[in-house]
Homo-oligomer: A and B are copies of this chain.
Amino acid sequence: MGRRRPGTPTLEEVAARAGVGRGTVSRVVNNAAGVSDSTRRTVQQAIAELGYVPNLAARSLAGRRADAVALVMTEPDWRLFAEPFFSGIVSSLGDALADTGMQLLLTLVRSDAERRRFLEYARGGRVDGVLLMSVHADDPLPDMLAEARLPTVLLGRRSGDERVSYVDADNAGGARDAVAHLLATGRRAIATITGPLDMYVAQCRLRGYREALASARLAADDSWVAQGDFTEESGQRAMARLLERHPGIDGVLAASDTTAAGALRALRTAGRRVPQDVAVIGFDDFPLAERTEPRLSTVRQPLTEIGRVMVRLLVEELEEPAVAWRHVILRTELVLRDSA
């Protein structure tokens, strides 16, 4: 396939027109010091006249940098991609990267073929680093990236002893706080709707739920636990199942605000009054809660902060490659509304 784009002026042509050397033009383009104001202006004018745009492949080859980072979503189920959690993170990453001058590239990896292809892309030097989100416990991609010595930062661990750098929220602590609050308000029949249990984040929250119940000397057998997948629909179904098993439920910890919204729907369908009969607390999916369920209490994850920290860790790895793995666990905050 012929993809050449002819007629694009080069550094050299700019230099010729400005009557200077290529090095000087390069310095001007990159805002480097060591160029007199007058020649800088001359060069800038030549650039403008010719409509010069640097060839990034050449820059990349000479400078050994891509000025881009990839955000990879290894989510075989595209529905999750539609959840507000993703857009919240993406948004915050975009903001955080704005200063660094790096392009944020989102890529979907839904199959082994796509995994291989992306790996080639990244190892080929088209990105300086990789951000990963929504990683399931058995996903090999982080290790593949680490092996290729590509600076990588995960959003969320795959397990308790994750080695790759990551940023995570204090999921167990958040769950504990939420359930402790429900207990403190006199609830005793407290269920939980989890995320996919092959994700560490879901395991942690379940653990937090159990720990809180245990310290109140309450049993927490599996009939009080229903698995969902973070979607609203799954929350609705899970809640319906829980209600069947335990009509007396008076409190619920949900995997996400989206899940919680589904649970609320099921509760109302079942004629239960929320929050009078049942209190529901979800994990923060970002502004969705504000929009559709303003009265929902949540364990707030600092999504904006997560994006900022991910970028910070990645930049650190770029500056000082592969000396260590960096881990940051962000505190969660319980935000109470009418429903609890």
Interface residues of A (CB under 8 A from B): 1-5, 53-61, 64-66, 68, 78-79, 81-84, 86-88, 90-91, 94, 98, 103-108, 110, 113-114, 117-118, 120-121, 123-126, 128, 148-150, 232-233, 287, 291-292, 315, 318-319, 321
Contact = CB atoms under 8 A, between A and B. Distances in A.
A233 B318 contact: no
Contact of A94 (B65, B88, B114): B114
Given A3-B66, A57-B66, A106-B107, 7 more contacts: A5-B125, A5-B321, A53-B148, A56-B124, A57-B60, A57-B124, A82-B87
A197 to B, nearest CB: 22
Contacts of A106: 105-108
Contacts of A61: 55, 57-58, 61
A306 to B, nearest CB: 15
B91 A84 contact: no
Given A54-B124, A60-B57, A82 B79 contact: no
A26 to B, nearest CB: 15
Contact of A57 (B1, B88, B126, B321): B126
A233 B118 contact: no
B56 A4 contact: no
Contacts of A291: 79, 233
16 contacts: A1-B65, A3-B66, A4-B65, A55-B61, A56-B121, A57-B126, A61-B61, A68-B121, A79-B84, A79-B287, A79-B291, A82-B87, A94-B108, A94-B114, A103-B118, A106-B107
A104 to B, nearest CB: 7
Given A98-B113, A117-B103, A55 B292 contact: no
A60 B321 CA distance: 25
A128 B87 contact: no
Contacts of A125: 5, 55-57
